[in-house]
Amino acid sequence: MQESAFSLAQSVLRDFRYFESTDLDDTCERITSVLQAHTHRLIPGSCAGGIRSHMDFLQMSGIGFGTIKYSNEMSVDVTGLADHHVLVFCLSGRGAVTIGGVCIEIGGHRGFASSAGQSFRATFSPDCEQFILRIDRNVLNLHAGEGSFCLRPDIDLDRAALAPWVRLLQSLFADRATLDLVRSNPRTAIEYEQLLFSLLLEGHPHRMVESFASRGIAPAAIRKAERFIYEHFAEPVTLLDIARVAGVPTRTLLDHFRRFRNTSPIRLLHDVRLEQARSRLLRQSSDRTVSEIADESGFGHLGRFAGEYLARFGEYPSQSAARARQRRPKSLADVLRAGSDPA
């Protein structure tokens, strides 16, 4: 995409090389670790000279930015990105995506949006470099309100309503100091994230996956379960406890969550606990230890909590707490104590 709206991002992301490979299986495994359930196939006749591929990737709170480049014409099958929405554009070359029997051409200012849970097949020309945005489904729902979103699959960047979203992305990558600030400051990252989500949903057509109002017992049970989870996340809650409050058998509750939320009650419980723990760790006024915060957020095993926290947020709980302490304004006692220390 010459003089692309995302050319600045392409340049910056070169500093965040995730992998380079000359092996098709390795390429598939590496990309799957970021985007889930990808199967790659070379288009017959396109493999002369062997395959070369690379991917750049940068995670910023609930959004991941990346580029993908193959040296050959490639076909990609994607099976149900359960945890993410993914937007795909072509920085150069072209692509075609088939979803629900409909083929969408991408390239130039035309892109593709895959909503969480959808499967599709895509082909990319050998000169194509993709620009992708991976949006965490749960984080988007937390910002935008209750429900599951289905984005319209074809994206037109020439839509006037999308211009504010594009300009915000451009501004994020135009100044490296701003990008570094967003990467190092979780509060700033969340503010950028929320604005990006709001502008995307304001500018690009979307709909709710289900109409909960007409679903009777299913949405009522889900709302009861979710309310119970948010109110009792710090307690030793079990699936049976949640099902009893929701008023349905556990099998029915699992089916409802899978159909209407594309997750499970226990997965939601873990997500809420992690979000609550992170919020507490980042409070500048908090003097509690990581162990205390883990315990009051519902984690009984500190080591398991640290591992899940690292996988979700890209840093250990102690690193979040240390950064929050550094930003905390000094008290008068601290100032006086510092002033009395010998030089």
Q: How do residues 77-100 score in pLDDT, each as one tens digit? A: 887 666 789 999 999 999 999 987
In this prediction, what percent of the chain has a pLDDT beyond 90?
Answer: 28
Res 3: pLDDT:
45
Q: How high is the pLDDT of residue 57?
A: 94
Q: What is the number of domains present in the chain?
A: 2
Same domain, 219 and 204: no
Strand stretches in the chain, DSSP E: 17-21, 38-42, 53-60, 63-70, 74-78, 84-92, 95-99, 102-106, 110-114, 120-124, 129-136, 149-151, 154-156, 206-208
Lowest-pLDDT range of 37-51, 165-179, 231-245, 262-276? 37-51
For the record, the structure tokens of 282 come out as: 């980042």
- For residue range 285-295, what is the model confidence (pLDDT) as tens digits? 557 789 999 99
What is the model's pLDDT at position 145?
56
Q: What is the mean pLDDT of residues 160-186?
A: 90
Q: What is the rounded average pLDDT of the residues 42-55?
A: 71
Which pLDDT does position 149 carry in this prediction? Answer: 72
With respect to residue 193, please indicate whether it lies within any of the assigned structural domains: yes
301 in a structural domain:
yes
In 3-state terms, what secondary structure has residue 99? Answer: strand
Q: Are residues 169 and 241 in the same domain?
A: no
Residue 174 to residues 157, 177, 304, Cα–Cα distance (Å): 18, 9, 38
pLDDT above 50 (res 214): no
In a shared domain, residues 11 and 159: yes
- In this structure, the answer to whether residues 174 and 63 fall within a common structural domain is yes
- Are residue 35 and residue 159 in the same domain, yes or no? yes
Inter-helix orientation angle 137-144/186-203, to 10°:
80
pLDDT at position 332: 44
Residues 36 and 176 in one domain: yes
| Residue 265 is assigned to a structural domain of this protein | yes
45: in domain: yes
Instruction: Give mean pLDDT, residues 208-219.
Output: 49
Residue 147: is its pLDDT beyond 60?
A: no
Domain containing residue 252:
215-327
**CATH code assigned at 25:** 2.60.120.10
- N-terminal to C-terminal alpha carbon distance within the chain: 58
CA distance 264 to 15: 37
> Would you say residue 216 has pLDDT above 50?
no
CA dist 290 and 303 (Å) reads: 11
The continuous run of DSSP H or E covering 334 comes out as helix 332-340
- What average pLDDT does the segment 150-161 reach? 90
Inform me whether the pLDDT recorded for 182 exceeds 50. yes
Last-in-domain residue among 208, 233, 250: 208
Query: Domain containing 259 — which CATH number?
Result: 1.10.10.60
Task: Please check the confidence at residue 202 and state whether its pLDDT lies above 60.
Answer: yes
Q: Who contacts 316 (Cβ-Cβ below 8 Å, separation ≥6)?
A: 306, 309, 310
Q: What is the C-alpha to C-alpha distance for residues 313 and 136, in angstroms, rounded to an integer?
A: 12
Region 142-153 average pLDDT: 70
